[in-house]
C-alpha cells in the first residue's frame, strides 16, 4: 500500500523540531518579514498570518520567529528522503517538501508515524493516502480500504480535499458560496456541469478522480542525491585560519566524488559544545574549488560556530544533477564539413525555413521551406498548403447559394 507522510508546512515543522516546546513562527524572506506559518501555541497567543514580526512578538514575547530560506528547506528535505530510503522503502516520491509517498506495509507505516510523530495516511493510491493523512492525528495512521469504505470516506471529505485533483482554493471558495460543502455535494452534479463551472482542464481532472482514476504506482527512488564528507579534530578549532585550512583539505574529496555532476546546495555542519550548527548556501554552476571554498566559509560564518569551538566539520552537497552542455552558438568547422559532405552526396537532402510572419493566422503565411544552397522555395511534404483564391464568378455563385439556402430555411420554418 501507499503511505503519505504529511509534514506540511515543512518550514514550520522544521522550526518546531529545532525548538521544541517553544512557540515558533516562520517569517517571509521579504523586507516586511511577515508571518507565513505559526505553531498552535503561537496562534492561541494571538499570532496571525501576514502579521509583522514585531507585532507577533509583542503578542507572544517568548515567540521564536525565524526566516527559513528555501535552500535550507530543500537541503533538509533531501536528507529526510535519504533516511526514508535507507530505513523504510525503495519507492519514494517526494517532489514537494513536506509530502512524501512511500510503498510500505501497514506495520511499517505505523512505525514511521511513531518515529517521526507525524500523521500518515495509508491507501491504495496517492490521492487517497493524502486525504487520509489530513484526517490522521500526529503519530498515528489513517487507513482507507478499497471498496465501500473508500466511497464512504470520500462522501465525508470536504470540498478542499479535491486539491489532489487540481481544484484551487479560489474554486473551492466559489463552490462553498453555492452551498457545495463536500465531495458528496459535487457528486450530484453531472460531468458537463463540473466542466462548465471549473473549466475544461480542472473539470476533466475532477471528473476522472470522481470516476475512480487514481495514481497507484510510485517511482523507484534514486539514492545518492547527497554527498557528504567530514573531518574530526583533536582540538576544537577557534581561529579562522584553521577552519580555512580544514576546508581546503575537505572540499577536494567532495568535489572529486561529484564526477562532473553539479550540486544545487552546499550544507555545512559544525559540531560544537553547544550542539550541531547548520547553514546552507545555494550553488551556481560551474563549480570550482576557489568558489566552493569561499561559499563554505560564508556558510561557516552563518553558523556562528567558531567562537564555541568546532570539534567536527562536515560538508554536504545535495540536489545533484548531470549538467547539459551546449557546444556553442555557431557551427564549428566539423559541423560545416559534415553538411558539405551530405550536400555533395544528396543535393536535395537539406532545406531551411524562411519565416514570413510567425503571428499569421494562415499556416502558409507563417513560413516557407527553401533550398539550403540556392534559397529557392522547395515544395515538400511539410510545405503548408495554400488554398486557391476564388474568382469573382465563384464568389458571386457562393453568395447566391448562401442566399438561396437562407430563404429555403425561412420557408421551412414558416410551414412548420
In tens, the pLDDT along 144-183 reads 988 888 889 988 899 988 888 888 889 999 999 999 999 9
| Highest mean pLDDT (candidates 75-89, 95-109, 219-233, 240-254) | 95-109
**Residue 43 is placed in which grid cell?**
496562534
The pLDDT of residue 229 is 86
With bands split at pLDDT 50, 70 and 90, how would you rate the model's confidence at 351?
confident
Taking residues 88-111, what's their average pLDDT? 91
The residue among 350 and 312 whose pLDDT is bigger is 312
Q: Beta-carbon neighbour count of residue 50 at 10 Å?
A: 9
**Residue boundaries of the structural domains of the chain:** 2-148, 161-211, 226-318, 326-416
Is it true that 2-148 and 226-318 share their CATH fold? no
Give the mean pLDDT of the chain: 86
| CATH code of domain 226-318 | 3.30.1490.100
The pLDDT of residue 128 is 92
The pLDDT of residue 396 is 83
Taking residues 38-50, what's their average pLDDT? 92
The pLDDT of residue 328 is above 60: no
Q: Beta-carbon neighbour count of residue 149 at 10 Å?
A: 12
Could you please state the CATH topology (level 3) that the domain comprising 2-148 is classified under: MutS, DNA mismatch repair protein, domain I (3.40.1170)
Entry pTM: 0.63
How far the first Cα of the chain sits from its last, in Å, is 64
Best CA proximity match to 227, nearest among 270, 268, 258: 258
The pLDDT of residue 326 is 56
Under DSSP, is residue 141 helix (H, G, I), strand (E, B) or coil? strand
CB-neighbour burial class of residue 76 (10 A; exposed 0-12, middle 13-18, buried 19+) = buried
Cell 465531495, residue located: 183
DSSP secondary structure code for residue 392 in this structure: H
Q: Beta-carbon neighbour count of residue 409 at 10 Å?
A: 10
The pLDDT of residue 198 is above 70: yes
Taking residues 40-65, what's their average pLDDT? 92
**Residue 404 is placed in which grid cell?**
438561396
**Residue 283 is placed in which grid cell?**
550553488
The residue among 253 and 100 whose pLDDT is bigger is 100
The pLDDT of residue 23 is above 90: yes
Among 24-38, 116-130, 377-391, which stretch is predicted with the lowest mean pLDDT? 377-391
The pLDDT of residue 336 is 60
Packing angle of the helix pair 200-211, 191-198 (nearest 10 deg):
140
The pLDDT of residue 385 is 60
- 97 vs 115: CA distance, rounded Å: 19
The pLDDT of residue 25 is 94
Q: Beta-carbon neighbour count of residue 31 at 10 Å?
A: 6
The pLDDT of residue 214 is above 60: yes
Taking residues 320-344, what's their average pLDDT? 66
Amino acid at each position: 500500500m501507499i503511505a503519505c507522510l504529511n509534514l506540511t508546512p515543512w518550514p514550520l515543522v522544521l522550526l518546531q523540531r529545532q525548538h521544541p516546546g517553544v512557540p515558533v513562527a516562520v517569517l517571509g524572506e521579504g523586507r516586511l518579514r511577515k508571518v507565513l506559518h505559526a505553531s498552535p501555541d503561537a496562534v492561541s497567543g494571538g499570532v496571525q498570518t501576514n502579521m509583522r514580526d514585531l507585532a507577533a512578538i509583542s503578542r507572544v514575547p517568548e515567540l521564536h520567529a525565524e526566516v527559513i530560506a528555501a535552500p535550507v528547506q530543500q537541503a533538509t528535505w533531501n536528507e529526510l528522503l535519504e533516511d526514508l530510503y535507507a530505513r523504510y522503502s525503495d519507492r519514494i516520491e517526494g517532489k514537494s517538501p513536506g509530502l512524501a509517498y512511500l510503498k510500505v506495509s501497514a506495520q511499517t507505516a505505523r512505525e514511521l508515524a511513531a518515529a517521526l510523530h507525524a500523521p500518515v495516511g495509508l491507501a491504495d493510491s496517492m490521492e487517497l493516502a493524502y486525504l487520509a493523512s489530513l484526517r490522521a492525528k500526529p503519530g498515528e495512521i489513517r487507513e482507507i480500504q478499497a471498496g465501500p469504505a473508500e466511497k464512504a470516506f470520500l462522501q465525508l471529505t470536504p470540498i478542499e480535499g479535491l486539491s489532489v485533483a487540481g481544484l484551487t482554493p479560489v474554486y473551492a471558495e466559489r463552490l462553498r458560496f453555492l452551498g457545495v460543502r463536500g465531495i458528496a455535494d459535487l457528486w450530484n452534479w453531472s460531468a458537463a456541469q463540473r466542466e462548465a463551472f471549473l473549466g475544461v482542464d480542472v473539470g476533466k481532472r475532477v471528473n476522472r478522480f470522481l470516476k475512480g482514476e487514481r495514481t497507484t504506482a510510485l517511482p523507484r527512488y534514486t539514492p545518492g542525491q547527497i554527498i557528504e564528507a567530514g573531518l574530526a579534530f583533536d582540538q576544537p578549532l577557534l581561529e579562522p585560519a584553521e577552519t580555512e585550512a580544514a576546508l581546503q583539505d575537505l572540499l577536494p574529496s567532495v568535489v572529486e566524488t561529484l564526477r562532473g555532476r553539479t550540486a544545487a546546495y552546499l550544507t555545512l555542519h559544525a559540531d560544537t559544545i553547544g550542539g550541531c550548527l547548520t547553514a546552507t548556501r545555494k550553488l551556481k554552476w560551474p563549480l570550482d574549488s576557489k568558489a566552493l571554498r569561499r561559499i563554505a566559509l560564508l556558510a561557516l560564518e552563518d553558523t556562528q560556530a567558531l567562537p564555541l569551538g568546532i570539534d567536527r566539520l562536515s560538508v554536504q552537497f545535495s540536489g545533484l544533477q548531470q549538467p547539459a552542455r551546449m557546444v556553442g552558438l555557431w557551427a564549428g568547422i566539423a559541423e560545416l564539413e559534415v553538411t558539405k559532405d551530405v550536400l555533395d552526396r544528396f543535393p536535395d537532402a537539406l532545406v531551411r525555413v524562411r519565416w514570413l510572419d510567425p503571428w499569421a493566422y494562415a499556416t502558409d503565411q507563417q513560413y516557407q521551406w527553401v533550398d539550403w544552397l540556392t534559397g529557392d522555395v522547395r515544395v515538400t511534404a511539410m510545405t503548408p498548403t495554400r488554398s486557391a483564391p476564388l474568382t469573382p464568378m465563384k464568389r458571386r455563385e457562393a453568395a447566391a447559394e448562401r442566399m438561396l439556402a437562407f430563404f429555403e430555411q425561412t420557408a421551412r420554418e414558416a410551414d412548420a
